[in-house]
A and B are shown apart, each in its own frame.
Chain A
Amino acid sequence: MHELSVSSAIVDTALKHAAGRRISVVSLRLGKLRQVVPDSLSFYFEIVGRDTLCEGARLELELIDALMSCGSCGHEWDPAPQPEHGDVAGEFPGAGLTLPQFRCPECEAAGASVVRGDELEVESIEVEDEAETTPPEPSASRPVPSGPATRPWQDQGEVPTPVSNSGS
């Protein structure tokens, strides 16, 4: 699934900021509204990091509860499915469903905004201070490609030139 793409992006971000130093920890803030499975992410992170300065680094995940804010009445709440939110048995007997609550539980308005819970952010990394004298090429040796073979945006600030990877 896309945890492979996401892990690859996390490793790229970490390597960019490590600037040639070996990485020991990558701290990631992961909001509960994202559809990223933490175990899957850790699994692919280890694979994608092999043969790079991220090899063997520990991935620390800070899971962030979601918080919605109503644009109409200002009420704030966690939209995660709660038994008291999701009892639809009266209307749909036997449905046995627990619903998330994205409509404001106070005034029932739509259009609430997300205060927290959408994060997929590399918060910090820990590096060993001595730069490796011959750091391995991060993209050339990565065993599992998940997009273009080069990362032109590592040159900072440029609009990336696309690498065609289509079959046609």
Chain B
Amino acid sequence: MHRTKIKVAEDALDANTTIAHANRADFDRDGVAVVNLMSAPGAGKTTLLERALADRGETRVGVLEGDVQGSLDADRLSALHIPVVQLNTDGGFGGECHLDANMVRSAIPDLTLSEIDLLVIENVGNLVCPAEFRVGEDAKAMVCSVTEGEDKPLKYPLMFRTCEVVVVNKIDLLAHLDFDLDLLLHNIDAVNPGVRVLQTSARTGEGVDAFREWLLAVGKESPVAA
């Protein structure tokens, strides 16, 4: 049996990248800035958004909520009277653990992009996979809570490296933890030198103003995108 070697030289995630670019084009056409918000499960993404978006001023914000199952997060954010679309990834065998460009594209018809200035895509809670899949965003942000330990940047470098901002959340708990904040900041800088780091407590509101300012500035300054 004769065999032929065929040169391919194609990125394996090329299909996802193509769709991400198509998403980007749709967002650009309607002037929508897009943030891909990621973290481990339970780091505080939804609570931080509830807190930050409550005082959004004139900016028209929409949220695309990604979860394996259910609409709990979407229901919470709907209370802010902003358009929220829930994406569930549980089709098939147990569900995808991240949002990809195709999933995001499938939700675009449910959003009226012309009536939104900022779209926050709250990704599935996961420190591994979301970092690998671009979905058409302007910027990636991640939330890292102080209850997760100082070593997370070393264990999950890709997540920390691909973000424009790292939000260290739950700082109201520092007094109750044997947690070395300086060591976390040192480790974050080791994997993403010079990255912007914010410290917040979504519970008390401390530091949330800075996160809101960052969110509302995405797409307005240049360059923000990775």
Residue among B19, B85, B92, B156 making CB contact with A160, cutoff 8 Å: B19
* Chain A residues bordering chain B, tally (CB within 8 A): 60
- CB proximity of B67 to chain A, nearest CB, Å: 10
Q: Is A121 an interface residue (CB 8 A)?
A: yes
Q: Is A64 an interface residue (CB 8 A)?
A: no
Q: A162–B87 Cα gap in the complex (Å)?
A: 13
Quick check: B193 and A97 within 8 Å, CB to CB? no
Q: A5–B100 Cα gap in the complex (Å)?
A: 10
Contact with A along B129-158 (1 / 0, CB 8 A): 101110000000000000000110010111
Quick check: B102 and A102 within 8 Å, CB to CB? no
Q: A130–B100 Cα gap in the complex (Å)?
A: 36
Known: A121-B9, A124-B5. A110 touches B194 (CB 8 A): yes
Residue among B133, B183, B194 making CB contact with A92, cutoff 8 Å: B183
Contact with A along B39-54 (1 / 0, CB 8 A): 0000000000000000
Quick check: A102 and B187 within 8 Å, CB to CB? no
Contact with B along A37-79 (1 / 0, CB 8 A): 0000000000000000000000000000000000000000000
Q: A83–B3 Cα gap in the complex (Å)?
A: 45
Known: A122-B12, A123-B9, A128-B2. A148 touches B102 (CB 8 A): yes
Residue among A17, A160, A165 making CB contact with B18, cutoff 8 Å: A160
Residue among A13, A92, A99, A102 making CB contact with B14, cutoff 8 Å: A13
Quick check: A124 and B8 within 8 Å, CB to CB? yes
Quick check: B154 and A100 within 8 Å, CB to CB? yes
Quick check: B10 and A13 within 8 Å, CB to CB? yes
Known: A102-B161, A126-B6. A166 touches B12 (CB 8 A): no
Q: A4–B108 Cα gap in the complex (Å)?
A: 25
Residues of chain A within 8 A (CB-CB) of B14 are 9, 13
Q: A168–B90 Cα gap in the complex (Å)?
A: 11
Residues of chain A within 8 A (CB-CB) of B105 are 160, 162
Residue among B1, B91, B107, B190 making CB contact with A100, cutoff 8 Å: B190
Chain B at the A interface: SS class = mixed
Residues of chain A within 8 A (CB-CB) of B2 are 128-129
Quick check: B86 and A34 within 8 Å, CB to CB? no
Residues of chain A within 8 A (CB-CB) of B158 are 33-35
Residue among A91, A110, A153 making CB contact with B186, cutoff 8 Å: A91
Residues of chain B within 8 A (CB-CB) of A91 are 186
Known: A9-B16, A12-B15, A97-B154. A127 touches B8 (CB 8 A): no
Q: A35–B191 Cα gap in the complex (Å)?
A: 14
Residues of chain B within 8 A (CB-CB) of A81 are 154
| Residues of chain A in range 1-39 having any CB-CB distance to chain B below 8 Å | 1-2, 5-6, 9-10, 12-14, 17-18, 24, 28, 33-36
- CB proximity of B134 to chain A, nearest CB, Å: 13
List B residues at the A interface (Cβ < 8 Å): 1-16, 18-19, 22, 69, 71, 85-93, 96-98, 100, 102-103, 105-108, 128-129, 131-133, 150-151, 154, 156-158, 161, 180, 182-183, 186-187, 189-194
Known contacts A125-B8, A130-B1, A148-B102; can you find 20 more A-B pairs with CB under 8 A?
A1-B129, A5-B98, A9-B15, A10-B12, A13-B14, A14-B8, A17-B6, A17-B10, A28-B12, A95-B183, A103-B190, A109-B193, A121-B10, A122-B11, A124-B5, A124-B6, A126-B3, A160-B15, A166-B88, A168-B88
Q: Please provide the 4 A-B residue pairs with the shortest distance between their CB atoms, ordered closest to farther.
A: A110-B194, A110-B193, A167-B88, A2-B129
